[in-house]
Structure 1
Amino acid sequence: MRTRLYYTSLLMTFILLISCNSKSDSYNVIDYGAIDDGKTINTKSIQKAIDACNLAGGGTVTIEGGNYISGTLLLKDNVTLHIAEDAKLIGSSNPLDYQSIDTFTDATGQKRGNCLIGAKNATNIAVTGKGTIDGNGEAFLSKNIKAKIKELNITETEGFGSNRPFLLRFVNSSQIKVQDVHLRQPAAWTCHFYQSNDILVDNISIYSHAHKNNDGIDLDSSYDAVIKNCDINTGDDAICIKTTSPKPTYNVQVSDCKLRSDWGSIKFGTESMGDMYNIDIKNCQIYDTKGGGIKILSVDGANIHDVTIDGIQMDRVDMPIFIRLGERLRTYRDAEKQEVGSITNVIIKNVKGNARVLDSSRVKPPSGILITGTPDHKVGKITLENIELELPGGGSEEDTMAKVEEDVDRYPEFSFFKVLPAYGLYGRHIENIQTNNVVFTLNGTDKRESQVLVDTNTTQSE
């Protein structure tokens, strides 16, 4: 006969098993009140799920099965936000539904800091899944903000909607992963990492054309970052290495990405207070880009060095390579003004591609490479190796006499220098430029020289 002790022990074991099996590190936002009808504002419900996950020690907050509208969501330690393939997280059209973290003024003079998904001082966080995060950026166009003011009957309208939200924003955070998700149509930058580290961005796609200043991925005063296997199509910079503080951006690896931009596909700067170094970019495709394929710009004091860009295919790219050391010296976040910086030990190799046709070039006739310092501050050592660029031509006899302004403190854009006296490479104020197998071919006649170098020491080999 079984004793009471036996049944008591069996009951205790059963209760323990139930308790263990009921414990989960997965938190579905529907269980916290979220509604996937594409209308309900779910900010509080989704944030409750994130907070509960964090309080329990971490896990995964899951969004699945529909369209969820939300304002700002703040990730916390050890929390993964997972967007399932059948789900979409959509930014609210109401600016009042967003929070600003670490507000700052960007290079265009606009207040920034609002975001749809953000984190500050967080560790071990992630955004994953094959679903979509849509910033609903068109809601922040001027005409739609005016309609929202009328809808909400707002009387104090100054600044309403001007702090356009980023899609993802990470500040002073570490061990960050963004993987597999589709990021769409933010009102400002798509994915911004500021003073953060241990970053992995893998296999994401970005489409960002809803508004202005709509960068893809911005690494800003951050370090130990890997960006790989990404497909990025933006109206502004696709991948941007920058420093809006005196702290550097360093130890960055970018590989196997497909990039398109209306302003610059691979860019360093323009915000460039802190140094940028130990950066390797390889095996990327740049296509249909209007504002520059590779742009390396130090104008606010950054020392840019030990950069290697290797294995780039370019198709229909306006100004394939542009390097500028300037003296703008803009400051951010009340930091002290820097001394003029430097650019040296930059290697660009194994680049093959073609420029945009003459009718769609911002500068007519275009050129392939522009590298320039200033009379008082030369670019350091630049190595160009195995570069083949196909250009449309179109240069006249008059263009051979083109005057290239110094513009030492102006915003550094290649189009501001206008027509260059060389169709291939124009270099000026460079301490040492080494070229090996740099070849330019023309699809039309061009009266300009292939290369023009001014105030520059050169080493050439074939």
Structure 2
Amino acid sequence: MKTSIFILVLMILVQITASAKNFNVVDFGAKVDGKTVNTLAIQSAIDACHKSGGGAVEVPAGTFMTGTISLKSNVILFLQPGSLIKGTANLKDYNYQNRRVGLIYTENAENVSISGFGTIDGNGDAFMKLDEFKVISKDGKQFSRQKDQFRVIPGVLSDGPVVPTERPFQMIIFSNCKNVTIRDVTISNSPFWTIHLADVNGGVISGVKINNSLLIPNNDGIDLTSCSNINVSDCNISGGDDGFAITGYAHHFDLPGYKNLVHDSENINVSNCNIVSRSSGIRIGGWDQNHMRNYNFSNINITNSNRGIVLTVRDSGMIENMNFNNIVIETRLHTGDWWGNGEPIQIAVLRGTPEVKLGVIRNIFFSNIIALSEAGIVVFSSEESEIVNLQFHDVFLKIRNSPFNDYSGGNFDLRPVSDPHYSLFKHDIPGLFAKGVRQLSIRNFRLEWDGQEQDFFTRGIEVADFDELEINDFHGASAPANQKLPAVKLSDGKNWTTNLSPEKIAIFATPNYKK
């Protein structure tokens, strides 16, 4: 019986393999000279593959210039070793149904894939003013510690971002699709978001290498918008903007691929990835209308970045049920107009959209975290909302000295928000700062300083406006410039427990202490 079943399965697989067809783009007129614009030839191969019932569109070794192409159901775009698909430098070549888009635009498709061992190059440099850098406006600096001298560092080259010209939008987008796979390819030099899945149910991104310029703004590595059931693993991502941007947008600045997305984002797993970013290694949330829940992140390295992990609510969308485990984070202060100021972890609920009920963040768990940074962990909620059930367990944080401390240190940067007072503003830097949290648990948190001389580096832990707080097994002290201060400051809270000795804690109107 088992033998008969095996033979039947084998026959089915043979039939499927035999029915799948290969369509080489050269056979449809594509030229491998690196000059000819092959949009029509590549699209003809895709259309023929789809019409035949599906198969693989093969790109052989060589350089193929193209404008926008669109994949369809049951089509695999397969890049042979040595192949290069490169976007043109002409903005007019990026068009789908009379609308400007990016290099690969796919919508309403199922069982669609990009795979192989070649490279897709977005030609991003062609759409940048590479000798001109964005700067923060004077108004944007007015509440910072350094005022208009914030991040003004004589003789130091800018970390970017450069100024973009008009450019293509998302380089590779799948919108309203099911069962999307992107595997093993290299993607480079994106002018905008690199991989974008919008309203996708079921997807795998694995073994992908994203090599973007660290100077280009908005060249996010992987964006997942209102998507569910997505697994990302074994990817190397380097770029100027967010490594991962996972959001619940229903719409966003009229970008292509957003068609009144109504689904919540659920069940996303990210593992075994390496990330370098001038913005955030991992960013969750923004101006979200749809909820985001049930995410897991594990075995991730975030290095040479501005911010490590960011969770942010600015609209009605809620963030809940997320685990971050076995993650190494290395962040530093940067020059230029990048959001954030070196935080290894930043969690914030602040209004960014008028006239909506602000969402909440709840059930967020960090464990086995190693962080080397030039700033502290920041958790911040306005009085309009709250952060509920947040855990930091088994965390090691070393705050290293920075040559930029005098030029940009001693500030929180929670941009973008509606109130400029909470955008980029002067603030002392504890090892961990939390405001507006209910049910905060800090266990086995080890903090080290690196001889900082600036007096805005203060306590080991500072918690304000809290309810139900636990601090157990904290190993650390106040910063070198404030060694006489108790290591922990608690204010305007209630219902807290600790196993710390009383001399390590400064208490300001915090009743209901339990030991």
Give yes or no for TM over 0.5: yes
Please tell me the residue identity of whatever aligns with 1:184.
Answer: S
Q: Secondary structure at the match of 2:73?
A: coil
* Aligned residues: CA RMSD: 2.9
Per-residue CA deviation, residues 61-88 of structure 1 (Å, 9 max, x unaligned), is 0001200000001000100001111110
Please tell me the residue identity of whatever aligns with 1:202.
Answer: S
* Equivalence for 1:13: none
Match of 2:463 among 447, 453, 458: 453
CA spacing shift, 1:189–1:268, aligned 2, 3 Å: same
Are positions 1:343 and 2:361 aligned together?
yes
On the 8 A contact 1:327/1:408 being kept in 2, the answer is no
* Equivalence for 2:310: 295
Tell me how far apart the structure 2 counterparts of residues 134 and 271 of structure 1 sit (CA, whole Å): 30
Match of 2:437 among 430, 433, 436: 430
Give the 5 Å matches for 1:129-148. Answer: 129-142=116-129
* Equivalence for 1:248: 264
| Cα offset, 1:461, TM superposition | 1.8
Tell me how far apart the structure 1 counterparts of residues 192 and 414 of structure 2 sit (CA, whole Å): 32
Q: Secondary structure at the match of 1:115?
A: coil
On the 8 A contact 1:238/1:264 being kept in 2, the answer is yes
CA spacing shift, 1:22–1:300, aligned 2, 3 Å: closer
CA spacing shift, 1:69–1:263, aligned 2, 3 Å: same
Are positions 1:232 and 2:243 aligned together?
no
CA spacing shift, 1:172–1:411, aligned 2, 3 Å: farther
CA spacing shift, 1:162–1:250, aligned 2, 3 Å: same
Please tell me the residue identity of whatever aligns with 1:206.
Answer: I
Tell me how far apart the structure 1 counterparts of residues 411 and 124 of structure 2 sit (CA, whole Å): 41
Tell me how far apart the structure 2 counterparts of residues 349 and 172 of structure 1 sit (CA, whole Å): 34
Per-residue CA deviation, residues 109-145 of structure 1 (Å, 9 max, x unaligned), is xxxx61111210000000001100000011112589x
| Cα offset, 1:409, TM superposition | 3.9
Per-residue CA deviation, residues 308-336 of structure 1 (Å, 9 max, x unaligned), is 01110123452101000111127xxxxxx
CA spacing shift, 1:406–1:294, aligned 2, 3 Å: closer
Tell me how far apart the structure 2 counterparts of residues 242 and 22 of structure 1 sit (CA, whole Å): 40
* Equivalence for 1:212: 217
Tell me how far apart the structure 2 counterparts of residues 57 and 413 of structure 1 sit (CA, whole Å): 58
Aligned residues: 396
CA spacing shift, 1:100–1:265, aligned 2, 3 Å: farther
CA spacing shift, 1:261–1:46, aligned 2, 3 Å: same
Give the 5 Å matches for 1:31-430. Answer: 31-100=27-96, 114-142=101-129, 162-209=166-213, 211-245=216-250, 247-290=263-306, 292-317=307-332, 318-329=342-353, 338-356=356-374, 366=375, 368-392=376-400, 409-410=417-418, 416-422=424-430, 424-430=431-437
5+ residue gaps, structure 1, are 1-19, 104-112, 145-159, 331-336, 357-365, 395-401
Question: Between the two proteins, what is the percent identity of the paired residues?
Answer: 27
Point out the more displaced range, 241-250 or 179-188. 241-250
Please tell me the residue identity of whatever aligns with 1:299.
Answer: R
On the 8 A contact 1:297/1:412 being kept in 2, the answer is no
5+ residue gaps, structure 2, are 1-15, 132-163, 251-261, 333-341, 403-409, 474-515
| Cα offset, 1:100, TM superposition | 4.5
| Cα offset, 1:168, TM superposition | 0.6
| Cα offset, 1:57, TM superposition | 0.3
Point out the more displaced range, 39-48 or 211-220. 211-220
CA spacing shift, 1:412–1:352, aligned 2, 3 Å: farther
Q: Secondary structure at the match of 1:319?
A: coil
Please tell me the residue identity of whatever aligns with 1:251.
Answer: N
CA spacing shift, 1:255–1:52, aligned 2, 3 Å: same
Please tell me the residue identity of whatever aligns with 2:472.
Answer: S
Tell me how far apart the structure 1 counterparts of residues 421 and 365 of structure 2 sit (CA, whole Å): 21
| Cα offset, 1:271, TM superposition | 3.2
Per-residue CA deviation, residues 435-459 of structure 1 (Å, 9 max, x unaligned), is 1111110111465111111101311
CA spacing shift, 1:61–1:404, aligned 2, 3 Å: closer
Please tell me the residue identity of whatever aligns with 2:227.
Answer: S
Tell me how far apart the structure 1 counterparts of residues 433 and 349 of structure 2 sit (CA, whole Å): 14
Please tell me the residue identity of whatever aligns with 2:361.
Answer: I
| Cα offset, 1:167, TM superposition | 1.7
Q: Secondary structure at the match of 1:293?
A: strand
On the 8 A contact 2:270/2:296 being kept in 1, the answer is yes
